[in-house]
């Protein structure tokens, strides 16, 4: 599946209201579908608030998927935090799509862009944290070279669930043949 470039575009870097929109997409989806509330929303907002000023570091990146056009609405995001884990590791964060944008290749295109950056910057490992039950996301991660490294019961997001840590070794999967951003 390829991304419909007539409907969406991917921009690199922060944009006006990006913080609010990314937090809102996370809060809406995870509250409705997984019972997460204020604790989760606060953690997303706090982490993103700390990250955005660090975009000046060339090892950090944020990509925003928007609807096509001059005043495109933010409908997705993904970030690579190249600082917080240290030791040459990249942290994949804030990967989310608006409800109406799933299943159209946009998530794969965002993840592909992040993986290209990780490989270009020669990070030794990329790590992401998620939880059990997000099957479409897990399939996408595994298709892009991530493997489940750890599972454990936890409540860091304000609800009890099985948390998961996925890892991708640097250059783990060739990016040829994976959706391009055009």
Record the tokens describing residue 100, joined without a space: 């109406």
**Extents of the domains making up the chain:** 8-124
CA distance 151 to 165: 7
Record the tokens describing residue 71, joined without a space: 């005043």
Record the tokens describing residue 132, joined without a space: 């059990």
* Superfamily grouping for domain 8-124: Gcn5-related N-acetyltransferase (GNAT) (3.40.630.30)
Quickly count: other Cβ atoms within 10 Å of residue 60's Cβ: 22
Tens place of pLDDT per residue across the chain (182 aa): 455 557 899 999 999 899 999 999 999 999 998 888 899 999 999 999 999 999 999 999 999 999 987 778 999 999 999 999 988 999 999 999 998 888 888 999 999 999 999 999 999 999 999 989 898 899 999 999 999 999 999 877 777 889 999 999 976 544 444 444 43
Q: Give Cβ neighbours of residue 16 (< 8 Å, ≥ 6 apart).
A: none
CA distance 17 to 58: 22
Q: What angle do CA 44, 10, 124 make, to 5 degrees?
A: 65
Order of strands across the sheet with 89-97? 8-12, 61-67, 74-81, 89-97, 125-131, 161-169, 147-154
């Amino acid at each position: 599946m390829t991304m419909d470039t007539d409907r969406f575009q991917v921009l690199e870097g922060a944009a006006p209201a990006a913080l609010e929109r990314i937090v809102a997409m996370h809060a809406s989806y995870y509250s409705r579908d997984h019972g997460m509330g204020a604790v989760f929303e606060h953690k997303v907002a706090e982490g993103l608030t700390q990250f955005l000023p660090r975009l000046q570091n060339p090892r950090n990146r944020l990509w925003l998927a928007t609807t096509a056009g001059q005043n495109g609405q933010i409908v997705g995001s993904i970030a690579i935090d190249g600082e917080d884990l240290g030791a040459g590791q990249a942290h994949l964060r804030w990967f989310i799509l608006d409800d109406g944008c799933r299943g159209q290749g946009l998530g794969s295109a965002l993840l592909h862009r992040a993986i290209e950056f990780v490989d270009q910057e020669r990070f030794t490992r990329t790590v992401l944290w998620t939880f059990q039950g997000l099957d479409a996301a897990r399939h996408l991660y595994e298709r892009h070279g991530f493997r489940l490294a750890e599972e454990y019961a936890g409540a860091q997001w304000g609800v009890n669930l099985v948390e998961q840590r996925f890892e991708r070794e640097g250059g783990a999967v060739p990016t040829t043949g994976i959706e391009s951003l055009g």
